[in-house]
Chains A and B, each alone.
Chain A
């Protein structure tokens, strides 16, 4: 609250006011150099030599993790059990908070392990440790390249290849969850095989008085980006979409096949296949309604598998977005649960050892699947834990294998730049729901924002 004094009454106090102004003038003059660090153009180079253990001396790894996900903490506990000299000092925050804090925290309060948002801008500012030497030492560069490419950043400012600046704890994948009881009610006994079949199911569900799809799309969380990107994958190739997300020169989201996808989404909206109030729903509301049996489908990811196996045991199913033509290749948003090491980390060797342990230790891989619900990182022939048949976790893992076979993994279109999700996809998708934006207008607007953000 500001209290403003009137001119007349303040007249007697002008002298102190001048004194304050003069003093603050001096303060500013002292601080009047341009803000920010000095200009550095070369990318962080990888450390020349590294140690591939945590040693035997006591080590405390400083972690900055995402709240609400038990996986990293469970892994940390197991790691301490196996290597008692290593303790963790963990700070947790919401992902949105981590996104906003990332640059400051990485430079001012360097964590050894940090859950990362989109990495391009952080890598550009040299805030992340270059892990190339570790990749070589541990043999990560012999894993399927698609696992790591989203975390590679080149000196040309493009993602997808170049130096490894982050690692994944596992890689998750998105698709469509359905309520088995409701599905049986409308005669859906197996996953639809084409987009047209899926449309038929949606119409049947609507005719039966069910809510066919519920999806979060409220506030700053444009969840319709999930079905939209899945539709993009049904109509086109994942390659150009990845190029766009990786900021490749000249890439555009405004392509004919993406327009078809956006038009298809608009058709769903206009046909009433989506819950009416999606523009006011957040993620938690969507999940609680789905678990409560209020909608047939939701678009989400395998990080919910463990949760759904518990809360809807036997009643939840999962399938990948069906292709436009029968037998066509399938693609899905699939991204590693990205963790990085600060360029200023004091225990980088131990942090890298932990990341390697997560991908290679048998117990760690068990935890990755059972607690994380997703596929662990690592070589194709690595140990995989047994998962009970008929569970959602089993079907999401199987779907992951399909995506691997079809080479259909894409990063999330919301990860193209740091601000594209909150400032572009979300408002545009909300406008599409309200009928205030056309499919073509949406793609044009997003592309325009993208270009200004990539340049800036």
Chain B
């Protein structure tokens, strides 16, 4: 009796509330459709054309995609993006874990607050400003080379961003510097959720700090690590601003990444179709990397 009553009420109320709900969502949905979904679909459409952005377009089918995998220069940009994952993603997450664990242990002291603020600072600075700052630091007369000379490593000095061997790692370092603050903060927040009694129990069982970290902290942070990896991998694969400001893809094509290549293709070479094809490929690539990650890092917690 009670069940049918509930059901009856639900069937009567549901359509109205659903409509009302959609009405509230309508402005957001409209904006989303017009400014996110429509450009996305238009990009897919353009990718099948040979078009300079102004004149008439010619349908070329999958030609642009074929060129994407056969043109070694375009393919190299994707390889560079994956190399950047190492710097933009793994380094900040590993360092972030170490730093967060350290800060947690000294949580009561004022130093922890200072450390947190300083580490988060890169996140507040616009990426373009960070890029400019690091360009100075890494220049031949910059601080990095001055420090190297001061400690007697003068032979190592070089134009870090202008050298074929060091340009990509140098750009990676900038990215790592930017990402580390966000990772640290996220991981720190995750750590504060962990029940202290777990640690107490572990300590009673004679676990040291390393064992505590491995057996309690790390497993509990599975979700946070997942978020960190997701965000940073996306920023590595879709990177544009840091590279545009610091090297513009040079020297040669040593730091050319898909994001920058799309920009050059569209605005310098005026090949809107090819640029769109690379953009679509990049989107698919990002999803392919990020979706499995979501599954791996979430499943264990359910």
Using a CB–CB cutoff of 8 Å, the interface residues on chain A facing chain B are 1-2, 4, 6, 16, 20, 23-24, 27-28, 31-32, 34-40, 99-100, 103-104, 107, 121, 124-125, 127, 218-221, 276-281, 418-419, 422-423, 426-428, 430-431, 433-434, 436, 453, 456
Provide 17 A-B residue pairs closer than 8 Å at the C-beta atoms, listed in order of the A residue. Answer: A6-B294, A24-B33, A27-B33, A28-B41, A28-B42, A34-B56, A34-B59, A36-B54, A36-B56, A39-B56, A103-B53, A218-B250, A218-B251, A279-B250, A418-B270, A427-B249, A456-B271
Residues in chain A near residue B33, CB distance under 8 A: 20, 23-24, 27
Residue B86 is within 8 A (CB to CB) of chain A in the complex: no
- With A4-B294, A276-B159, A419-B269: A35-B250 Cβ-Cβ less than 8 Å: no
Give Cα distance in the complex from A99 to B270, angstroms.
11
Residues in chain B near residue A453, CB distance under 8 A: 269
Give Cα distance in the complex from A102 to B228, angstroms.
40
**Judging by beta carbons under 8 Å apart, are A125 and B269 in contact?**
no
Interface positions of B from 14 to 67, Cβ below 8 Å from A: 22, 29, 32-33, 37-38, 41-42, 45-46, 49-57, 59
Give Cα distance in the complex from A431 to B164, angstroms.
8
Q: How many residue pairs between the two chains, A and B, have CB atoms under 8 Å in the bound complex?
A: 150
Residues in chain A near residue B234, CB distance under 8 A: 1-2
Residues in chain A near residue B213, CB distance under 8 A: none
Choose among A4, A28, A103, A434 the residue that contacts B54 (Cβ–Cβ < 8 A): A103
Residues in chain B near residue A32, CB distance under 8 A: 45
- With A4-B294, A279-B159: A430-B139 Cβ-Cβ less than 8 Å: no
**Judging by beta carbons under 8 Å apart, are B49 and A37 in contact?**
no
- With A28-B45, A35-B57, A218-B250: A277-B159 Cβ-Cβ less than 8 Å: yes
**Judging by beta carbons under 8 Å apart, are B270 and A219 in contact?**
no
Residue B231 is within 8 A (CB to CB) of chain A in the complex: yes
**Judging by beta carbons under 8 Å apart, are B270 and A36 in contact?**
no
Give Cα distance in the complex from A100 to B139, angstroms.
28
**Judging by beta carbons under 8 Å apart, are A422 and B291 in contact?**
no
Residue B252 is within 8 A (CB to CB) of chain A in the complex: yes
Give Cα distance in the complex from A276 to B145, angstroms.
14
Closest Cβ of chain B to A11, distance in Å, is: 14
Closest Cβ of chain B to A275, distance in Å, is: 9
Given A4-B230, A431-B164, 16 extra CB contacts under 8 A: A4-B291, A24-B38, A28-B45, A32-B45, A35-B49, A36-B51, A39-B55, A100-B267, A276-B140, A279-B250, A280-B139, A427-B253, A430-B251, A430-B252, A434-B164, A434-B251
**Judging by beta carbons under 8 Å apart, are A107 and B37 in contact?**
no
Residues in chain B near residue A434, CB distance under 8 A: 163-164, 251-252
**Judging by beta carbons under 8 Å apart, are A423 and B269 in contact?**
yes
Closest Cβ of chain B to A439, distance in Å, is: 16
The 6 A-B pairs at the shortest CB distance, nearest first, are namely: A280-B162, A279-B162, A280-B159, A277-B159, A100-B267, A219-B248
Residues in chain B near residue A279, CB distance under 8 A: 159, 162-163, 250-251
Residues in chain B near residue A456, CB distance under 8 A: 50, 52, 271
**Judging by beta carbons under 8 Å apart, are B42 and A31 in contact?**
yes
Residue B144 is within 8 A (CB to CB) of chain A in the complex: no
Give Cα distance in the complex from A109 to B51, angstroms.
21
Which of A23, A37, A423 counts the most B-chain CB atoms under 10 A from its CB? A423
Closest to B37 in A: A24
Interface positions of B from 220 to 266, Cβ below 8 Å from A: 230-231, 234, 247-253, 264
Residues in chain B near residue A436, CB distance under 8 A: 164, 252
**Judging by beta carbons under 8 Å apart, are B248 and A220 in contact?**
yes
Closest to B231 in A: A1
**Judging by beta carbons under 8 Å apart, are A280 and B56 in contact?**
no
Give Cα distance in the complex from A434 to B252, angstroms.
9
Residues in chain B near residue A37, CB distance under 8 A: 54-56
Residues in chain B near residue A6, CB distance under 8 A: 294-295, 298
Closest Cβ of chain A to B232, distance in Å, is: 11
Residue B161 is within 8 A (CB to CB) of chain A in the complex: yes
Residues in chain B near residue A103, CB distance under 8 A: 52-54, 270
Give Cα distance in the complex from A4 to B267, angstroms.
30
**Judging by beta carbons under 8 Å apart, are A36 and B55 in contact?**
yes
Residue B68 is within 8 A (CB to CB) of chain A in the complex: no
**Judging by beta carbons under 8 Å apart, are B231 and A27 in contact?**
no
Closest to B291 in A: A4
**Judging by beta carbons under 8 Å apart, are A99 and B54 in contact?**
no
Closest to A3 in B: B230
Residue B218 is within 8 A (CB to CB) of chain A in the complex: no
Closest to A221 in B: B248
Residues in chain A near residue B269, CB distance under 8 A: 418-419, 423, 453
**Judging by beta carbons under 8 Å apart, are A125 and B55 in contact?**
yes
Give Cα distance in the complex from A431 to B252, angstroms.
5
Which of B234, B250, B295, B298 counts the most A-chain CB atoms under 10 A from its CB? B250
**Judging by beta carbons under 8 Å apart, are B45 and A427 in contact?**
no
**Judging by beta carbons under 8 Å apart, are A127 and B159 in contact?**
no
Residues in chain B near residue A104, CB distance under 8 A: 53-54
**Judging by beta carbons under 8 Å apart, are B54 and A127 in contact?**
yes
Give Cα distance in the complex from A436 to B163, angstroms.
11
Residues in chain A near residue B137, CB distance under 8 A: none
Residues in chain A near residue B268, CB distance under 8 A: 99-100, 418-419, 422-423
Choose among A39, A127, A218 the residue that contacts B162 (Cβ–Cβ < 8 A): A218
Give Cα distance in the complex from A37 to B161, angstroms.
42
Give Cα distance in the complex from A34 to B56, angstroms.
8
**Judging by beta carbons under 8 Å apart, are B56 and A38 in contact?**
yes
Closest to B41 in A: A28
Residues in chain A near residue B251, CB distance under 8 A: 218, 279-280, 427, 430-431, 433-434
Which of B50, B253, B267 counts the most A-chain CB atoms under 10 A from its CB? B267
What 0/1 pattern do residues 280 to 298 of B give for CB contact below 8 A with A? 0000001100110011001
- With A28-B45, A103-B270: A20-B162 Cβ-Cβ less than 8 Å: no
Closest to B57 in A: A36
